[in-house]
Every structure is written in C-alpha cells, then in structure tokens.
Amino acid sequence: MRASLSFLSVAAGLAASVSAQSYTSIPDIQVYGQHFFYTNNGSQFYLKGVAYQQDYSPNGTADTNIKYKDPLADSDGCKRDIPYMKQIFTNVIRVYAIDPTANHDACMEALASADIYVIADMAEPSNSIVSDNPEWDVSLYQRYTSVVDALSKYKNVIGFFAGNENVSADNQTSAAAFVKAAVRDIKGYIHSQNYRNTLGVGYATADVPTRDDLAAYFACEPGNSGNTTQIDFWGYNVYSWCGNSSYSASSYGERVQFFSDYPVPVFFAEYGCNQNIDGGPFQRPFTEVEVLYGNMTDVFSGGIVYEWFESENSFGLVNISDNSVVPNPDFTSLRNQLSTIDPTITQSSDYHPSTDAPACPTTGASWEAVASPLPPSPNNQLCQCMAASLECNVKSDDEKLYADTFDYVCGANSDFCEGIAHNATTGSFGAYGACNPKEQLAWVVNQYYVGNNKASTNCDFSGVATVQSAATSSGCAELLSAAGTAGTGIVASPTGKGTAGATAASSSKSKGAAAPGVSTPAFFEYGSVMFVGYVAVAMMSMVGMIAL
C-alpha cells in the first residue's frame, strides 16, 4: 500500500538539514579524469539522481504534436517535490527537455538550496537529431545553444547531453558522427561565450550491441583535435539488473571491466528495471544500489533512477494526486538502499589520472561512422549569405514542392549537389548541408542554373524558383570564399550567440520522417527512385539518430 505523506510536515522536517546554498554560490562540479569533484573542497561527487520530467518519454520519435512541460519552469512543482527527493538522498536530477525562453530561477534556486544539481538534455520532441535521418543543422544548433544560454548561469548545472540513445540499432552507427559534431560545437560554444569551464557535454546510450564501439567513438580524439570532440562524461541507460539480480547476471561486472580505463566519468544515466518484479513494477527492490555504490565506484560515478513521476510505463517512484506527493513502495525501497551506502570518497589532490583516449573504431561491417572529418559546424550566417548571393533562388516556402526539384537536379548532375552532401560513412560533407531545406534547394537550383548557361527557363522548376539579383552583404565574402564555388570548402565555426531564431517549447517545427522537411530536404521523404539511387552512390547517409 502506498504511504501518503504531508508535504508541509516533510518540508518542515527537512528544513534544518538543507544547506542555504544559492545557484550563484553552490560549488560547481568539475570533471577530472574518471571522476566528478566538488570545486570548493576537491571531494569526489557521486550522482544519486532521479529522472525528473512529467509525461515525457524519450522514446526515439520526433513529432511536432508532442508537447512537453518544462519541469524547471514549474517552481511550485519543484518546491512540492524537493523535500521528497531529499528523502531518497537526491543530489542530481536529469531533465529531458526545457523551454529556453522560460524563467527557471525559482526552481533552480530551490534545487540549489537543497544541494541538488542538474544535467539537461538539449533536444526537445519537435526539434531533435532523428535516428533514421540524421542532421546537425542550424535549427538544432540554435536549439542546443539556447538551452546552454538559458542554464549556463546556474552553478548547479553540471552539464548537458548532446544526445540520448541516438544509435539504437546496428544499422544506425553512422549517425554517431552527427552527435559527435554536436559535442564539438557545443563545447566550442561554451568556450566562445566565456561560460564557466566546468560545464560538460556528454552522451547517453542505450545498452545496445554497438555500445563498446560507441563508447570508443565518443571518447576518441581523431587527428589533432585534442579533446575538442571528446565527450566530457558518458551516460549509460542500463536496465539489466531486474529484481534480485547479481553482479554477474546483470553484466555489471563486464561494464566495470570495459570502462576501467575510460578517460572520462561514467555513470548510469537511467537505471531501475521494472520487469519481472515480485509484486509488480512499483515493488522494485533496488538491490543494485549496494553494488553501484560499492565495488563499482572505482569506475562508475553513481546513477540516475528512472523516474520520478508515475506514468503509463509504470516507472514512477511517486504519484502526484491533488498536487500532493504519494510515494510508491519502490520509493521506500530506494530510500532504504541508499541509506546504507558508504562509497569511498577520493580527494582530487590525491588523484592522478593516467587514462588515455581510446582509438577510434575502424569503419567496417559493424561500424560505419568515420571519426574525421565530422559534419561541419552549422553556420546560419553562411546559409543566409549564400542564399542572398545566388542568381537563382527558391521563392516557394512549401517544402512539399521541393522533392521533385531535388530529384531532378541531383539526378541530372551529382556535382550540383555536392555542396549539401552529408555522408558520415565516407566523410563527404558539403558546406551547406547544415542549412535549412529552402536554402539547400536554393544552392542546388542555382548550381543547375549557372551550369546550364543561366537560361531563364533553367530557373523556374514549375514555379518553385526564380531569378534574383545577387547580393553580398558585409561579412559574407570571406565565408562564401571559404565554402568555394562547389560548396565543398571548410568554413569557420560561428562565434556569436547561437540563440538568434532559436525555437521554444511551443515551436511547431518538427524533424525527421514524421514531419518532412524541417531539418532535412523533403526529398528524403518524397524523393523519386532516381534521387534515391543518386543518394546511395554519391553522398547522402541514410542512417541516423534520435537525440532525446
């Protein structure tokens, strides 16, 4: 039977134990070697966390119809839930999607006062990197950087996930390149904006057959990249310990062995299997806690239980009834297990890491993504400069009309489309592959127009395009020169604020097959056999990811 507790009595009972921290004064957490440490005293930090987002399932789909509630903007909900979180010793929450236009001060202050930190995913349901149609484009760059901008001032933010379970099948490994590019660019953005250097960027993976190659890929440092493309931490969504399992039966031991010399911290970004549990899913015994915070601590930095709110998936630790918190039985089980742990605390001054970056996986039958080059950094200024500089441009905003034109032009001459290539298997990337669909099509039709003697009949495409007067605005010449006449050159990463035009929670934009054409040209969904054949032999990678 569930125990119903009085919010007021719990809050009063915990008030004396909650430290008077503010989100401006709480010590931030830094990554050093394989561990996390408090910056104020150098003590090791273990994550004792819970996934905290109501009615949200990061299940690998992208849909404009899915709305979400930003948990960090709900100050009343935060204040209601925090006293109960402290009963299960919570010191970190994971949130899957926030509205960067909302105010988060009240919730972040309440969390800081309770010594609770945050790790935030940067995507949202209608704007994410899609598994079977991967892109790292200007829309996503704006979304990701807007989340960083919104949360960077809070010292109780540990960092961000650039992706979640992007590679969930063997035929999606080339998609990892787009997430690694996102890691590179968000790390670079944090540096360029002079945000604090303790903000980390990581990746969370499912327990998939390619997990070892994935781990190596995200931690490797190809060429002379230093750690610019390396994740800062590795999150593992693991559900192999069900009920009263064991260290060997759950394969926890294998994971400890594999990550024993991994160069960055590793933790469970989700855990808490609810299958085959005596008494039902809300009776999870959480016997894995003793092991996770016991003999695994040389390698693992704790974990985040899935999840706080009860929903249809039956993972909730609590139920919210009439705005009151009603704990489920597994809430008590988790509390009891966590109350007994006593992990060894290492001081950063006594810790001398010696792990090196692993080798990048070799491309072959089981791994498709090249480690270098990665997809180019999305540059909205470049895309706008390009569109303005063309003699033939796209006038229609109806992306459903674009497919036939993409098919025709790229099928007629593949050279016309090299500037929008994004093939992570061969490492072929055009400078304009991260632009929006209208800009990508503009580049393609202009290449066709110029390549066919600039005849006015070659800039129409059934009313989709039209001739215009080319213009090169201030600051454009250098960017366009770097991209080159074929659109295959390398352009410098943007250095300004990334939030111009960023999408918020109410955005109607969507990405991927569920809603064609927002991040990828509509030909991916509507293109003809001719263009599909061209894609297969020339440039486009048709495997991908979802980052939610």
Question: Catalytic residue positions?
Answer: 165, 270
At 143, phi and psi to the nearest 5?
-65, -50
Fill in the DSSP letter of residue 342: -
C-alpha span between 523 and 100 (Å, rounded): 31
Which residues are registered as beta bridge partners of 466?
393
If we measure between CA atoms, which residue out of 288, 280, 241, 238 comes closest to residue 259? 238
* Burial class (CB within 10 angstroms; exposed 0-12, middle 13-18, buried 19+) of 20: exposed
* Structure tokens that stand for 308 in this block: 């706080």
What six digits make up the tokens of 176?
A: 């990892």
Residues 6 or more apart whose CB falls under 8 angstroms from that of 93 comprise 49, 50, 51, 52, 71, 85, 111, 116, 117, 118, 119, 304, 308
Round to whole Å and give the CA distance between 358 and 390. 44
Question: With 0-12 CB in 10 A as exposed, 13-18 as middle and 19+ as buried, what is 429?
Answer: buried
Question: Rounded CA gap, 252 and 291, in Å?
Answer: 9
Q: What token pair was written down for 416? A: 């016309």
275-311 as b/e, with b when 16 or more CB fall inside 10 Å?
eebeeebbebbbbbbebbbeebbebbbbbbbbbbbbe
Residue of 246, 260, 182 lying closest to 544 (CA atoms): 182
Half-sphere exposure of 313 (CA within 13 A, CB side): 16
Token digits of residue 345: 């605390």
